[in-house]
């Protein structure tokens, strides 16, 4: 069962059991009370002599109650019921004189009028109250439920007998890039980013009131009914969701998320404690430079998990469990195959293929990134020596600032007799933004050795033009976020054409990644883009399979 679906079912069943029961009981009590008032009014009319006296207007009392509780429909229904009872009551009990039809019809009209007016007024008041409540509970900048809504929901669940003993999980999500967005694009953009992330999380966890904006840079995900396993699984899903770009004011932004979570087997009175523990876990994750940390009294579980992963990666390197897969780069001018990108994969001891997103972010924050990148450099150079096929490899921020890494790459090309021009180093904008001057020195060194250098995921950062002005790069790879909307958005096509023209004006090789269909291929070729890669040709393949694919490759027909 899907994680989010499991959470939705648990939360929905719990909510039905806890909330639907009391609500049904409340409606039953209200109905019985109204019927009792009608019966009492009827009895009073009979005991006081009949409808000729003033006591019949006591029947308006249940009409007013029904109007207050159920609005226009309730007021009209109660008025119709009360006036129908009045129709069968005698005008004078002692003389057994019945009412004239005109008399009770007039009273029915009066009752319906008063019931409708009262019901309409109460319904309008209730609507105004709900609108005010919605405003109080909603963050006006992002449109998400706010801290007031969180406090009210926690308080309501805490005071509910069913929820008091039910398990509940809470995740605090820190948007670490939101300050950069605020400085570069303004407050509206940062609020839009928070709203987009919140909507994405809503789709993951389900429900309209489970994601809250807790502060400018923090969201809270409340998961009632979740156990610890589901809580940590959902946290991993949220991290994976954060890897996809979001478009903020027409600019693709890849937001970095840091998560802290806490869990209670029963909420009881520990609502503040739940938030506090999740915040402690969040700060621990930030301090350790990891994406996620669940709360523990000594945080030993997360620490052990992190140590275990790094240990497994180290052991995997020693055992040769890592391999490179290659995705082709195709020249658009003539459809020729001009190279490939080397992408690391981990086939663990159980022969399961682990994608890089599950281990590389943590590896990049440790010194283990050096031997991992050395493996990539060595294996890529060996592939080039075997196939005489240009290959690009990826350098992280730590790799770029490590003076030993360019030297190791140069050592490998010399050992294998590979032309440095057949090796391209791709660096992400996140690696450049940390220290532009140091990045320039590192890239100049790579260029002096004969390697070409391109900016990966171009356009997703906030200082791309500064990179183009100051860095001695040879190419740019335009992020897939610019490619995906090409077919449907004229503005995206114009933006892509401008990026291509700008790259050519600076004598850069322009590559577009994420091409998935023939129409995207055709559009990029018409814009003069130099190279493309993506699933339109093939997913990344192991070395021998890729070599076989290359032998059978034929240029795309017009």
pLDDT (0 to 100) of residue 161: 63
| Cα–Cα distance measured from residue 261 to residue 236, given in angstroms and rounded to the nearest whole number | 11
Cα 85 from chain centroid (whole Å):
57
What are 96's two structure tokens? 């057994």
* 309-552: CATH number: 3.20.20.450
First-to-last C-alpha distance (Å) of the chain: 44
pLDDT (0 to 100) of residue 194: 84
Note the pTM of the prediction, 2 decimals.
0.51
* CATH 3.30.70.270 holds for 147-295: yes
| Cα–Cα distance measured from residue 126 to residue 123, given in angstroms and rounded to the nearest whole number | 5
Q: What is the dihedral of CA 189, 190, 192, 198, to 10 degrees?
A: 160
Q: DSSP secondary structure string, 143-204?
A: -SB-HHHHHHHHHHHHTSHHHHTS-EEEEEEEETTHHHHHHHH-HHHHHHHHHHHHHHHHHH
Model pLDDT for residues 162-181, shown as the tens digit of each residue: 556 678 889 999 988 777 77
pLDDT (0 to 100) of residue 55: 57
Model pLDDT for residues 23-66, shown as the tens digit of each residue: 678 778 888 888 888 777 777 777 776 665 655 667 778 888 88
Q: In the chain, what are the domain boundaries?
A: 11-137, 147-295, 309-552
Contact predicate 82/111, CB 8 Å: yes
pLDDT (0 to 100) of residue 274: 84
Contact predicate 144/219, CB 8 Å: yes
Low-confidence ranges of the chain (pLDDT < 50): 1, 7, 11-20, 208-209, 300
pLDDT (0 to 100) of residue 251: 81
pLDDT (0 to 100) of residue 530: 97
Task: Check if 147-295 and 309-552 are the same fold.
Answer: no
User: Do you know the residue count of the chain?
Assistant: 558
pLDDT (0 to 100) of residue 361: 83
């Amino acid at each position: 069962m899907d994680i989010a679906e499991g959470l939705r079912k648990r939360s929905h069943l719990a909510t039905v059991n806890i909330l639907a029961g009391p609500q049904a009981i409340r409606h039953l009590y209200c109905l019985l009370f109204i019927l009792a008032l009608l019966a009492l009014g009827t009895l009073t009319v009979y005991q006081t002599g009949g409808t000729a006296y003033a006591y019949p207007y006591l029947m308006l009392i249940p009409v007013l109650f029904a109007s207050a509780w159920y609005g226009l429909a309730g007021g009209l229904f109660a008025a119709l019921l009360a006036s129908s009872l009045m129709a069968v009551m005698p005008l004078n009990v002692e003389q057994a004189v019945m009412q004239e039809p005109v008399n009770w019809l007039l009273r029915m009209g009066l009752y319906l009028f008063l019931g409708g007016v009262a019901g309409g007024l109460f319904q309008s008041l209730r609507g105004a109250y709900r609108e005010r409540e919605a405003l109080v509970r909603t963050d006006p900048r992002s449109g998400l439920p706010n801290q007031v809504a969180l406090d009210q929901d926690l308080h309501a669940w805490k005071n509910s007998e069913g929820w008091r003993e039910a398990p509940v999980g809470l995740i605090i999500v820190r948007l670490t890039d939101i300050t950069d967005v605020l400085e570069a694009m303004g407050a509206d953009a940062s609020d839009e980013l928070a709203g987009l992330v919140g909507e994405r999380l809503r789709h993951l966890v389900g429900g309209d009131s489970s994601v809250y904006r807790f502060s400018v840079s923090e969201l809270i995900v409340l998961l009632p009914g979740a156990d610890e396993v589901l809580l940590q699984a959902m946290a991993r899903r949220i991290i994976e969701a954060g890897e996809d770009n979001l478009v903020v004011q027409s600019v693709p932004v890849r937001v970095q998320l840091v998560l802290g979570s806490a869990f209670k087997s029963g909420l009881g009175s520990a609502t503040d404690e739940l938030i506090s523990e999740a915040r402690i876990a969040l700060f621990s994750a930030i301090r350790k430079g990891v994406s996620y940390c669940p709360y523990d009294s000594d945080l030993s579980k997360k620490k052990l998990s992190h140590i275990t992963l790094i240990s497994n990666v180290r052991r995997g390197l020693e055992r040769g469990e890592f391999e490179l897969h290659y995705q082709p780069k195709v020249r658009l001018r003539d459809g020729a195959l001009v190279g490939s990108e080397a992408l690391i994969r981990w086939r663990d001891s159980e022969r399961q293929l682990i994608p890089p997103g599950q281990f590389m972010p943590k590896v990049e924050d440790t010194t283990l990134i050096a031997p991992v990148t050395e493996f990539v450099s060595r294996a890529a150079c060996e592939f080039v020596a075997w196939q005489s096929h240009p290959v690009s490899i990826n350098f992280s921020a730590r790799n770029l600032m490590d003076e030993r890494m360019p030297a190791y790459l140069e050592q490998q090309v010399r050992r294998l007799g590979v032309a440095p021009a057949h090796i391209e180093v791709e660096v992400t904008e996140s690696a450049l933004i940390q220290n532009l001057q140091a990045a320039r020195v590192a890239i100049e060194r790579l260029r002096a050795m004969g390697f070409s250098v391109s900016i990966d995921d171009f356009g997703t950062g906030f200082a791309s033009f500064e990179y183009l002005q100051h860095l001695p790069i040879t190419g740019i790879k335009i992020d897939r976020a610019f490619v995906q909307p090409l077919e449907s958005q004229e503005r995206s096509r114009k933006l892509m054409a401008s990026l291509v023209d700008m790259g050519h004006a600076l004598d850069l090789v322009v590559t577009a990644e994420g091409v998935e269909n023939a129409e995207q291929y055709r559009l990029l070729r018409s814009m003069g883009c130099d190279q493309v890669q993506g699933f339109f040709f093939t997913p990344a393949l192991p070395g021998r399979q890729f070599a076989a694919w290359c032998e059978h490759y034929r240029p795309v027909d017009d």
